[in-house]
């Protein structure tokens, strides 16, 4: 198969998101980036719907939030959902203490997954897949209780997917879902996340087999990585759509070293990682 997914184009979508600055809810950068994502996805021929909601953060702050839903082949009865979060985190709480209150630029943690999905939308305008695809960009994923505050609760994370899962704003339920999170790092390790294994083992097998057919078995590793409560957890428990997470996590190092630090910038992105994930999804969706 000839691939149309362009690493340079995907990277430019990542850079563009970062150029707005950190996409923290209730900031002008966040508003501007939402408008940009809505415009791009519409330009690429998707049917775009904005799901606006107010979420309550761990500290009581009301986060004016928007899940961005872009449908390709909107009336097709067989649908696959592709997810990423488009917000970025207000705290570098995995960094030195002096940086704890600085926002994360989120080149990898946020923008990378969105960039891959934008690039797929671009190529699907040239050649449409023969199934329906629902791209869902969740908001307010990364506003969870900072590590320097007591009383962490898991439910303070993933507010956009919790809202989407509760409302189920679709007329046709997707047959499965794939979440992308931190897919642009250097030398990523995409392993079997325990929650994906629990809820969607057949989807993990299918996606990893596509990756291996492309020669990516060093990156898409057939080993358990960790148990990660990410947006796919809420999609699974609230909607029953079997959903996996493609996320960079290794049992040795945990998340990538730039995670929730001031170093999560476009300089620390490897375009080839975006391309691997993009090619896997391009082949997978055209094969459906």
Binding site for Zn ion (CB under 5 A): 89, 109, 142
For the CB of residue 89, give the shortest distance to Zn ion in the complex, in Å. Answer: 5
For the CB of residue 238, give the shortest distance to Zn ion in the complex, in Å. Answer: 20
For the CB of residue 56, give the shortest distance to Zn ion in the complex, in Å. Answer: 19
Q: Report the distance separating Cα 10 and Cα 120, nearest Å.
A: 9
Measured from the CB atom, is 18 or 80 closer to Zn ion? 18
Q: Report how far Cα 82 is from the mean position of its chain's Cα atoms.
A: 8
Measured from the CB atom, is 38 or 142 closer to Zn ion? 142
The dihedral over CA atoms of 7, 230, 46, 133, expressed in degrees to the nearest 10, equals: 90
Measured from the CB atom, is 89 or 232 closer to Zn ion? 89
For the CB of residue 109, give the shortest distance to Zn ion in the complex, in Å. Answer: 4
Measured from the CB atom, is 78 or 101 closer to Zn ion? 101
For the CB of residue 30, give the shortest distance to Zn ion in the complex, in Å. Answer: 15
Which residue blocks in 74-226 are alpha helix, DSSP H?
113-126, 159-167, 194-199, 201-213
Q: Report how far Cα 228 is from the mean position of its chain's Cα atoms.
A: 14
For the CB of residue 194, give the shortest distance to Zn ion in the complex, in Å. Answer: 18
Q: How many helices (H) and strands (E) does the chain have?
A: 8, 8
Q: Report the distance separating Cα 238 and Cα 161, nearest Å.
A: 9
Measured from the CB atom, is 95 or 109 closer to Zn ion? 109
Measured from the CB atom, is 89 or 122 closer to Zn ion? 89
Strand partners, 148: none
Q: Is the dihedral of CA 237, 241, 247, 252 positive or negative?
A: positive
């Amino acid at each position: 198969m000839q691939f149309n997914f362009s690493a340079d184009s995907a990277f430019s979508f990542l850079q563009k998101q970062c150029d707005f600055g950190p996409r923290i809810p209730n900031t002008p950068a966040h508003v501007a980036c939402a408008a940009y994502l809505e415009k791009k996805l519409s330009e690429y021929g998707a049917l775009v719907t904005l799901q606006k909601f107010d979420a309550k953060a761990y500290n009581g702050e009301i986060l004016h939030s928007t899940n961005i839903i872009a449908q390709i082949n909107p009336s097709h009865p067989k649908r696959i959902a592709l997810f990423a979060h488009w917000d970025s985190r207000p705290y570098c709480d995995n960094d030195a203490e002096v940086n704890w209150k600085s926002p994360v630029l989120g080149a990898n943690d946020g923008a990378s997954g969105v960039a891959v999905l934008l690039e797929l939308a671009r190529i699907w305008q040239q050649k449409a897949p023969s199934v329906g695809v629902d791209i869902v960009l969740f908001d307010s994923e990364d506003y969870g209780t900072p590590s320097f505050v007591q009383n962490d609760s898991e439910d303070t994370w993933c507010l956009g997917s919790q809202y989407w899962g509760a409302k189920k704003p679709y007329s046709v339920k997707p047959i499965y879902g794939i979440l992308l999170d931190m897919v642009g790092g250097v030398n990523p390790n995409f392993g079997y996340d325990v929650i994906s294994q629990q809820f969607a083992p057949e989807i993990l097998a299918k996606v990893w087999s596509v990756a291996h057919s492309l020669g990516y078995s060093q990156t898409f590793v057939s080993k358990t990585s960790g148990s990660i409560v990410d947006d796919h957890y809420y999609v699974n428990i609230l909607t029953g759509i079997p959903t996996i997470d493609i996320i960079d996590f290794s049992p040795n190092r945990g998340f990538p070293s730039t995670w929730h630090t001031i170093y999560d910038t476009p300089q620390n992105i490897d375009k080839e990682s975006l391309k691997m994930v993009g090619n896997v999804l391009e082949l997978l969706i055209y094969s459906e």
